Chain A
């Protein structure tokens, strides 16, 4: 089974701050990590490989320093790593990013399943995974919490919903985005770390993956960021106390007066 895992390098979420003047993320001095949701994608990919054989190729689009994230993925059991890096990719929104990644996946060609984390901890859009499947014209299941079984070219998966879960069958090749309930990612192994240190990370630019230049980077991105801000903290609720009928009356009055 050939598995492709897409990951993103993000600033460590516990340390994210926003510059109030420019409305951009302060990245200086902030440690970069693999997007936490993507660590579940890596683990699931490696588990599938361990169960069914084959290999795991990990792909990321980002600046040259994203190589660190790819090496870490290798230390966790991935076999090959590809970094999509090109100044022309800068400013990509989720549409351009998923297009670029899908072009890389087309170039890798032989694959059964693409696995992504459900969303990135910095952008929180959850759009890149579904975007890739759209560009590749393959089926997708998002928020997968369990791969129940794989029979030949059909996978049976559980998709996490707000209340309960759906069971879906999906044919290969396909794309899955996974939630943290799916597994517990392992720690790296010493041999994995040694392998990661020596590994060759392939670097592909826009030409290597035959991108339509108008579809990538800022120009290829229909999204315009107008403003980034920290939302105000939610105010605490009010608790009404007293006899139930009387409290109900007060609640109804409150809803009438202040909510509606």
Chain B
């Protein structure tokens, strides 16, 4: 399908696909097995200018937006959804600075992210604060020119590898969600430590760790926006980043479809290619159709966000919800088409199915996405009834 991409977006797509085919695909199984962090690939991404595609030119990027980021994430995820996450999660950690950073903060941090010399991460989740982000316990207590951070963040993507972290902590516990604030914390700050490295079902080439803050002193100039804005910073960040998760899902799903159709074409049973059976044909047709619908929704949502539209939470949630559900279905069907081979680690599709699952869970479970969508529908209804 022709999505009327700009020349620059076509170049990004072409280059990201070349990186996925030549550099990522050949090593995907290795990183899945070893759970190492894919630094050599990060270096390739840095050298090819991919790290700055969504960052404004004045801060060292090439000035694209959410759509550019989605296109690149999709293609890189075709190579490996786990490896691509080093790139995509940096986007998640960068959005708070792009959206709420002051000039000084942007000038300091964005160029380093844009040139790929530093990765970023976003630290919100805690053991008892997942979907209920308002109940985070990490505290930030003002002490002169500093804030003192205490608490533990968990399941932080890129933790330990990234240099620049956006951390959400409570500056006023009494106010609940409105008492949260966002801080930029650099790796190496005294009192910031990385502990448990998680072992995961999928996206195993991605680093997921705990971050422990013990009397960690952060200068007040690292506060993003104002005190109390932390929850809004997080929500707006997700509105911008969810099409990226959706794009990761579509990239994984595209790979599953490609692998499944190629396999089905060559696999012979009952003396003929299994693509001659309607049972397989219908599966392939449904996979391809759902995939294209997901892609179209992501690109539309991303374009809307890039246009500067304000009310983006609903479409952003829709793109993440739909693409990740479709990804889970397509990767499961790909394993089914491969039959017994699909269940074996020697073949690539079981990994795709494992990698797919997280896209229904992180950056807001799909139940939370449905909640976001429904609340917007209800809000629109009540607006209408007020007018009537």
Contacts and interface: CB of A to CB of B under 8 A. Distances in A.
Interface of A: 186-194, 197
A187 B50 CA distance: 12
B306 interface: no
B23 interface: yes
Interface stretch (B7-15, B26-34, B198-206, B250-258): B7-15
Interface in B1-44: 7-8, 11-12, 14-15, 18-19, 22-23, 44
30 contacts: A186-B47, A186-B48, A187-B15, A187-B18, A187-B19, A187-B22, A187-B23, A187-B44, A187-B47, A187-B48, A188-B15, A188-B18, A188-B48, A189-B15, A189-B48, A189-B49, A190-B11, A190-B15, A190-B48, A190-B50, A190-B53, A191-B49, A191-B62, A192-B49, A193-B14, A194-B8, A194-B11, A194-B62, A197-B7, A197-B11
Contacts of A190: 11-12, 15, 48-50, 53, 62
Nearest to A197: B7
Interface of B: 7-8, 11-12, 14-15, 18-19, 22-23, 44, 47-50, 53, 62
Contacts of A188: 15, 18, 48
Contacts of A193: 11, 14-15
A190 B68 CA distance: 12
B136 to A, nearest CB: 37
A197 B9 CA distance: 13
Contacts of B23: 187
Contacts of B62: 190-191, 194
Contact of A189 (B7, B8, B22, B47): B47
Contacts of B11: 190, 193-194, 197
A32 B8 CA distance: 23
B388 to A, nearest CB: 51
A191 B8 CA distance: 10
A197 B12 CA distance: 13
Contacts of A186: 47-48
A192 B18 CA distance: 15
B370 to A, nearest CB: 36
Contacts of A187: 15, 18-19, 22-23, 44, 47-48
Contacts of A194: 8, 11, 62
A80 B180 CA distance: 54
